[in-house]
Amino acid sequence: MLKFKNCKFFSTLLLKNKTAIITGGSDGIGKSTVLRFAEEGANVIIADINEEKGEKLSEEINNKFNNKNLTKFIKCDISNENDCKNLSEKTVEFYNNIDILINNAGIFILKGVENFSKEDFMKILETNVVGTALVSKYAIEHMKKNKKSSIVNLGSISSFIAQEGFMTYSATKAALLQMTKNMALDLNKYNIRVNCVCPGTIVTSALINFAKENGLTVEDIEKEHWNRSIMGRFGDPKEVADTILYLASDQSSYITGTHWSVDCCYLTI
């Protein structure tokens, strides 16, 4: 039998001494990603429009790890350019650097070609597409100084597939997929990697609210869609967060300009 004397086993934290911004970080996939990043040693900025949820999450995580400076909350509406600029400036004030940017914030406006309004379309474009670009633009100014950095954009299965009544939302997620490729090409000279994670249907508050608005439960929708994915179930935000963590970390150092589907092979047109 092997005996170990004075030997301590430990695991290396994937994001030790890294600083990450996670937009839309107070709920759903964003919240799960904040938790995973904190577990892996990162300083995390929780950027969100919901001040109450963001402050509460930051306090909970800091208490859990007994570190009052592990996470900070910054209120940010990514459709507002001044908020986007302030987000990066405040992050550098708090932590001196930006190593990782997770562009998770977005809104759901589900309208088809027959019933959308110009206001609907402009609002979702300004948030999901232009807002993501603005957050990235101002973060990149600071990320350029690093030897290596990572940006992860949150796309969707709607980046690829057609769903009835989804035109407005799907258009923005398709745009994010192409933006990812262009960003990766533009930023390679600074050793900033850019990738896109495309989740399938994930059980978040957005899905729960959608179900309620239509007089359904999440289980009702899951039963209706069970035959559209190999596993026959919806995903958990933690399962998406683990993929985001991999792409944000140095373990994926040879990956850029790609999309990663976390959708259990969603089957539709």
Rounded (5°) CA angle 51-57-60: 140
Amino acid at 214: N
What is the C-alpha to C-alpha distance for residues 134 and 139, in angstroms, rounded to an integer? 9
DSSP label at residue 235: B
Asked if the model's pLDDT at residue 7 lies above 70, the reply is no
Output phi, psi for 197, to 5 deg. -105, 130
R_g of the chain, CA atoms, integer Å: 19
pLDDT at residue 10 in the model: 47
Q: Indicate the range of 6-15, 80-89, 217-226, 252-261 predicted with least confidence.
A: 6-15
pTM: 0.92
pLDDT at residue 9 in the model: 42
Q: Tell me the mean pLDDT in the region 197-210.
A: 86
What dihedral angle (degrees, nearest 10) is formed by the CA atoms of 268, 129, 182, 240? Answer: -50
Neighbouring C-beta atoms of residue 231, cutoff 10 Å: 10
Longest dimension (CA), the chain: 73
Q: Tell me the mean pLDDT in the region 80-95.
A: 98
Burial class (CB in 10 A: 0-12, 13-18, 19+), 72: buried
What is the C-alpha to C-alpha distance for residues 186 and 209, in angstroms, rounded to an integer? 38
The answer to whether 61 and 269 are in contact (CB under 8 A) is no
What is the C-alpha to C-alpha distance for residues 120 and 111, in angstroms, rounded to an integer? 8
Q: Tell me the mean pLDDT in the region 254-262.
A: 96
Q: Indicate the range of 81-85, 100-104, 224-228, 251-255 predicted with least confidence.
A: 224-228
Q: Which residues have a catalytic role annotated?
A: 169
pLDDT at residue 209 in the model: 82
CB under 8 Å, gap of 24 or more: what pairs does 175-184 form?
Answer: 175/128, 175/129, 176/103, 176/128, 176/129, 176/132, 177/259, 179/129, 179/132, 179/133, 179/153, 180/153, 180/155, 180/257, 180/258, 180/259, 181/257, 183/136, 183/151, 183/153, 184/256, 184/257
Q: Which domains does the chain have, with CATH numbers?
A: 19-200+236-261 (3.40.50.720), 201-234 (no CATH)
Output phi, psi for 237, to 5 deg. -50, -35
